[in-house]
Amino acid sequence: MLLQTGFIYFATVIVVCALMVITRKNPVHSVLFMLPLFFHVAGIFIMLNAEFVAAVQVLVYAGAIMVLFLFVVMLLNIQKERVRPRVGLKWTFTAPLGLTLFGFLVAILVRSQYNGTQGSFTIEAVKQIGNSQAIGQVLYTDFLFPFEVASVILLVAMVGAIVLAKKRLD
Site of interaction with another protein (CB under 8 A):
105, 108-109, 111-119, 141-146, 149-150, 152-153, 155-157, 159-160, 162-164, 169-170
Rg of the chain on CA atoms, in Å: 21
The least CB distance from residue 156 to another protein, in Å, is 5
Is 60 strand, coil or helix?
helix
Q: How far is the CB of 165 from another protein (least distance, A)?
A: 9
Q: How far is the CB of 119 from another protein (least distance, A)?
A: 7
C-alpha neighbours within 13 Å on the C-beta side of residue 113: 3
Q: Helix 2-23 and helix 27-47: axis angle, to 10°?
A: 160
Q: What is the DSSP string of 63-93?
A: IIIHHHHHHHHHHHT--HHHHS-S--TTHHH
Say if CB 67 and CB 33 are below 8 A apart: no
CB nearer another protein, residue 3 or residue 163: 163
Closest CB to another protein among residues 87, 165:
165
Q: Which of 1/166 has CB closer to another protein?
A: 166
Amino acid identity of residue 54, one-letter, is A
Which of residues 1 and 124 has its CB atom nearest to another protein in the complex?
A: 124
Complex with another protein: residue 2 or 166, whichever CB lies closer: 166
Least CB distance to another protein at residue 139 (A): 12
User: Nearest distance from residue 115's CB to another protein, in Å?
Assistant: 6
CA dihedral 48, 145, 66, 41 (to 10 degrees): -10
